[in-house]
Homo-oligomer: A and B are copies of this chain.
Amino acid sequence: MTLRYTGMNFLVNRPAMNHPIPKLQELRAACSNCSLRELCLPIGLSIEDLNALDNLVSVRKRVKRGGFLFRDGDDFQALYAIRTGFMKSTVITEDGRDQVTGFHMLGEIVGLDGIGSSKHSCDMVALEDSDVCVIHYENLEDFTQRLPQLQLNLHKIMSREIVREHGVMLLLGSRDADERLAAFLVNLSQRLKLRGYSPTEFVLRMTRAEIGSYLGLTFETVSRLLSRFQADGVIEVNQKNIRIQNLEALKDLTRRASCN
C-alpha cells in the first residue's frame, strides 16, 4: 500500500483515519464531521450545537513546514485547532535566545497566549506541513455566550494548558536530564496513543536541538542520552525514528526517587 501524503506522516503506524488531501472547496471545516472533535473544542456538544459550531469554524489554513502560523507580536485574531501536522511554540528573549515552550499535534488548540494582551507572545512554527481550523476569537466569544458547554470546553482547554505548563516547570526545575528526556518521550507516546497511533513507534518531527530547548538541555546532551537509553535497551533510535522497547522502564525513569 502506498500512502499519499496526508500531513500526518510524522507517525509511523497509521491507523484508519487518513484524510485525503483536501480539495479547495473542502477547505471549509466541519466540526460535525471531524474525527478529532472528541479531542478538540467541541467535546461533548450536541448535534445542534455542532451544526452551529460549523458556522464558527469556517476557515482552514495551511502552514508549510518551517512556516509561521503566527509570530510574537502579531495581533491576536483567532485560536487555531490543529487538524493535521505538528507545531512548536517558542518564546524569544531580547538578547536573541529562544526557548521551545511546547509541541502541538492534531486535535490541540493553539494561540491561547494571545487572548490576554490581544497580541501573540510566542512564535508558532510548523514542524511539518500542517492544516489548522481557524476559530475567529470574536466569533468564539459570541458562541460561548450562547453555548454553555462550549464555554466550559474552552475554559477546560485553557486550564489544562496551565496544568501542562506546571508539569514542564516541575520538569525543568526539579529533574535531572535523564528524567526530563524520559518524561518527554512518555508524554509523546501517551498523546499519540490517545489519537489512535502506536505509542511505541513513532517519528520525532523536531530536531535534537528543539527537544533540548524544550527540556532546558543542550542538543549534545539529548543526543548522548538517546544513545544511552538505546544502550540500556530502553529504546531503539534511528535518526528521528523512535521505538520504545520498554515503556515501563521509561516511566520508571521519570519518577525515579532520588532519595530526597
Are B255 and A101 interface neighbours, CB within 8 A?
Answer: no
Tell me the complex Cα distance, A141–B149, Å.
Answer: 10
**Is A96 interfacial (CB 8 A cutoff)?**
yes
**Is A162 interfacial (CB 8 A cutoff)?**
yes
**Is A2 interfacial (CB 8 A cutoff)?**
no
On chain B, the residues within 8 Å of A169 by CB distance are: 91, 99, 101, 165, 168-169, 172
Tell me the complex Cα distance, A257–B148, Å.
Answer: 47
Are A159 and B99 interface neighbours, CB within 8 A?
Answer: no
With A170-B93, A214-B173, A216-B173 as contacts: A158 and B160 at CB distance below 8 Å: no
Of B91, B94, B163, B215, the residue contacting A121 (CB under 8 A) is B163
On chain B, the residues within 8 Å of A121 by CB distance are: 163, 166
Q: 3 tightest A-B contacts by CB?
A: A173-B216, A116-B159, A115-B159
For this complex, 16 residue pairs linking A to B, each with C-beta atoms less than 8 Å apart, are: A91-B167, A93-B170, A95-B258, A117-B159, A121-B163, A141-B148, A141-B151, A141-B155, A154-B155, A155-B158, A158-B158, A158-B159, A172-B172, A172-B173, A173-B213, A173-B214
